[in-house]
Homo-oligomer: A and B are copies of this chain.
């Protein structure tokens, strides 16, 4: 066996990490609880549908907690990290950190690879 634990078993987390919105949402909530439209403004490019879908998925998995604040005039919904959500943050930060340190090299690797293909497609 290659990975610690069964390969199939870990797919939920891997697909979680693979989701660009999911990781972003968790990292934004790592700053503290936020409301729906507040997150929407911070992520900017996310569509309303995707924010909802993303938050619903994270709530279902138990990474975040959804709390409806009823005692206010415009009904507000606050999202925050659960303990498990807090627990992944360091892992995601490591990932982001590694990525930030290697993104330039990867971009260059791609350029080289692509230009080699273009100039000599038959190899």
Instruction: Tell me the complex Cα distance, A114–B56, Å.
Output: 11
Q: Which of A1-18 contact B (CB under 8 A)?
A: 2-7, 9-15, 17-18
Given contacts A2-B27, A94-B94, A96-B3, contact A12 B103 (CB under 8 A): yes
B3 touches A109 (CB 8 A): no
Q: Give, as a whole number of angstroms, the nearest-CB distance from A23 to chain B.
A: 6
Instruction: Tell me the complex Cα distance, A24–B6, Å.
Output: 11
Q: Which residues in B have their C-beta under 8 angstroms from that of A18?
A: 14-15, 17-20
B24 touches A97 (CB 8 A): no
B27 touches A61 (CB 8 A): no
B98 touches A9 (CB 8 A): no
Partner of A95, one of B2, B17, B84, B100: B17
A61 touches B109 (CB 8 A): yes
Interface residues of A (CB under 8 A from B): 2-7, 9-15, 17-20, 23-24, 27-28, 30-31, 42, 59-62, 84, 87-88, 91, 93-100, 102-103, 105-107, 109-110, 113-114
